[in-house]
Amino acid sequence: MRLNGRLSWRDLGKPRADMAHGKTVELTGFPVTILPTPTADRFLMMAEPGCCQGCVPNNPLAVVEIVAERPLKLGTGAVRVTGTLHVDADPAGWRYRILGADLAPGLSRRSVLAASPLFCLPATAMAQATDGTAVDTHSHAGNLIRASWGREGLLDIATPMKKGGLSVACLCIVADSPIVQVSSGRLRPVREPKPGELYDFSKVQFAKVHELARTQSMPIVRTAADLREARASQPSVIVTSEGADWLEGNIERVDEAYQRWHLRQLQLVHYHPNELGDIQTEPSVRSGLTDFGAEVIRRCNALGIVVDVAHGTFELVKRAVTTAAKPLLLSHTALSDRPKPWTRLITSDHARAVASTGGVVGIWPVADVAHVNSYASGIARMVDVIGVDHVGIGTDQLGLLGPSSLPSYVDLPQLAAALSSRFKPDEISRLLGGNYRRVFEACVA
């Protein structure tokens, strides 16, 4: 325990907390009650928001029982309580209790803003928030990366999509997978591909996406009408490629992938500088988008394939904006007006360029604190820059090197709830899928 009497969640289970038995302490956390209620004289408190009583961890070192002499006003965010700490095993099994609790004044505005309301949304509320049309614009869910190498099998994604209310996932192959590895804390190309190597491996990966869709009874979206019919009760797949390295300079392979594999979303570049343009994480060598990259954009527009400029430099995006006849997508990133070298984040001007085409920027759940509230905050920051009609979600599920603020599609209702403190239901519907659907319908017949 700190000398000023403030108890930290990191203190629990350690001697400094146990030695505070019988002393007055102060603790800030998130109240959880059996049923939603504005006041309570007995409740549990956790370090992070929970969505319901069922979310309380079965860990006596992560929960404190609060007992007050009168009902306390709980609100929907963090509270700071003060009272006498008791360290023992109460009948309910909690090791730590604060008795004679009362609310302490002075909870900072920053703490309140960080404490978005987070309640369980029943299926009807989730449907209202998303119109049943939520879309993840960028995902490797189903263990596609490792399964394509034969290292592990495919995982069930249809079930968590149904439970979470996600109707469509843009499932990605990784075009440069054979030649990139983690180096110096980031993914980098370790060699140049052999002729035909990436093209051959793309066919293995595309086949794996089709296998996942077939074995899990997930329709493959080929037309705008297919997307309009897609619902979470029977989730669908949009076949997507992260990087176009498998083209190897051959424009006719765009048509081949469109026909054979039903490719409907193509990300131009990834971690290997290819024939289409420069990437954010390596030195620029092509002055942005190449002539071949521009040709690919025009071919995608003509066929009906969404063009994704994620991983591309700002110079690439600026030429893509002047080349494209249809809205652009930047499927997975976050906002930073002070980007570090080799960052995957983008500036406000970068985001505005994509939005100027009528396009969408997908926000990914990467944050210092892997919690759904941080994800909602990242979405809100981008909305402040380019407007609610140009932001979506791109979770990069099972493609992140670090922890995710949305590790499962089952958690999507929690994200909708966190967004509800800032956005109206129709705006949440647009953010979680409606905006992407508009782009898809503009690009795909």
Residues 191 and 148 both lie in one domain: yes
Check whether residue 136 and residue 99 sit in a common domain: no
Q: Is 328 part of any domain?
A: yes
Residue entry with tokens 């007050």:
68
Indicate whether 16 pLDDT > 90: no
pLDDT value at position 389? Answer: 98
Is residue 3, in this structure, part of any structural domain at all?
no
Q: Are residues 372 and 308 in the same domain?
A: yes
Where residue 33 falls among pLDDT bands split at 50, 70, 90? Answer: confident
Find the CATH number of the domain harbouring 21.
Answer: 2.40.50.870
> Nearest-CA neighbor of 351 among 341, 338, 336, 340?
336
Is 83 inside any structural domain?
A: yes
Q: How many alpha carbons lie under 13 Å from residue 403 in its C-beta half-sphere?
A: 9
- In this prediction, residue 407 carries a pLDDT of 87
The pLDDT value recorded for residue 370 is 62
More confident: 112 or 441: 441
Q: Are residues 299 and 266 in the same domain?
A: yes
Q: Are residues 104 and 135 in the same domain?
A: no
Q: Are residues 175 and 227 in the same domain?
A: yes
Q: In the prediction, which pLDDT does 83 show?
A: 94
* Burial track 364-373 (b if 16+ CB lie within 10 A, e otherwise): bbbbeebbbb
Q: What is the pTM of this model?
A: 0.74
Q: Does 131 lie in the same domain as 87?
A: no
Residue 378: give its domain's CATH number.
3.20.20.140
Residue 4 lies in a domain: no
Number of Cα atoms under 13 Å in the Cβ half of residue 107: 20
Number of separate domains in the chain: 2
Residue 157 lies in a domain: yes
**Arithmetic mean of pLDDT, 377-402:** 94
Higher pLDDT, 86 or 402: 86
Kindly state the average pLDDT of the residues 430-439.
97
pLDDT value at position 199? Answer: 98
197 and 333 both lie in a single domain: yes
The string of DSSP codes covering 39-108 is EEEEEEEESS--SSGGGS-S-TTSEEEEEEEEEEE--SS-EEEEEEEEES--TT--SEEEEEEEEPS---
- Which token pair is 302? 């003509």
Final residue before a domain boundary, out of 113, 141, 173: 113
Residue 19 pLDDT more than 70? Answer: yes
Given 59, 87, 113, the domain boundary residue is 113
pLDDT for res 79: 87
- The string of pLDDT tens digits covering residues 52-101 is 444 565 567 778 999 999 999 887 678 899 999 999 866 666 789 999 99
More confident residue, 40 or 386: 386
pLDDT in tens, 273-310: 999 999 999 999 999 999 999 999 999 999 999 999 99
Q: Which residues pair with 360 in a beta bridge?
A: 329
Contacts of 202 (CB under 8 A, 6+ apart): 173, 175, 241, 246, 257
Indicate whether 232 and 290 sit together in one domain.
yes
pLDDT at 50 over 70: no
Contacts of 338 (CB under 8 A, 6+ apart): none
DSSP annotation string for 169-207: EEEEEETTGGGEEEETTEEEE-SPPPTTHHHHHHHHHHH
Distance CA 411, CA 20 (A): 36
Q: What is the mean pLDDT of residues 23-35?
A: 85
Q: What is the pLDDT, as a whole number, of residue 226?
A: 97
Q: Dump pLDDT digits (tens) for 309-367.
A: 999 999 999 999 999 999 999 999 999 988 778 889 999 999 999 999 999 999 999 86
Q: Residue 55: what pLDDT?
A: 55
pLDDT of residue 367: 67
pLDDT at 121: 46
Tell me which of 369-378, 411-420, 421-430 is least confident.
369-378
- Averaged pLDDT score across all residues of the chain: 88
pLDDT at 17 over 90: no
Shared domain check, 150 and 108: no
The mean pLDDT value for 17-36 works out to 85
CA-to-CA distance for 85 and 96, rounded, in angstroms? 7
Q: Is 114 a residue whose pLDDT tops 70?
A: no
Burial classification of residue 10, based on how many CB atoms lie within 10 Å of its CB (0-12 exposed, 13-18 middle, 19 or more buried)? exposed
Computed from CA positions of residues 166, 168, 173, 175, in that sequence, does the dihedral angle turn out positive or negative?
negative
Structural domain includes residue 361 = yes
Note the pLDDT tens digit of each residue in 245-269: 999 999 999 999 999 999 999 999 9
**Residue 107 — pLDDT band, cuts 50, 70, 90?**
low
- Whether 118 is covered by a domain: the verdict is no
Q: What percent of the chain has pLDDT over 70?
A: 87
Bigger pLDDT: 292 vs 46 = 292
The pLDDT value recorded for residue 372 is 87
How do residues 186-245 score in pLDDT, each as one tens digit? 788 999 999 999 999 999 999 999 999 999 999 999 999 999 999 999 999 999 999 999
Residue 353 lies in a domain: yes
pLDDT at site 290? 98
Percent of the chain with pLDDT over 90: 66
Q: For residue 361, give the H/E element and its range.
A: strand 360-363
> So what's the pLDDT on residue 2?
38
Domain boundary among 79, 113, 147: 113
- Give the model confidence (pLDDT) of 178-193 as tens digits: 999 887 667 889 999 9
Q: Clarify whether residues 131 and 80 are in a common domain.
A: no
**Residue 306 belongs to what domain range?**
123-443
Verify that 65 and 133 share a domain, yes or no: no
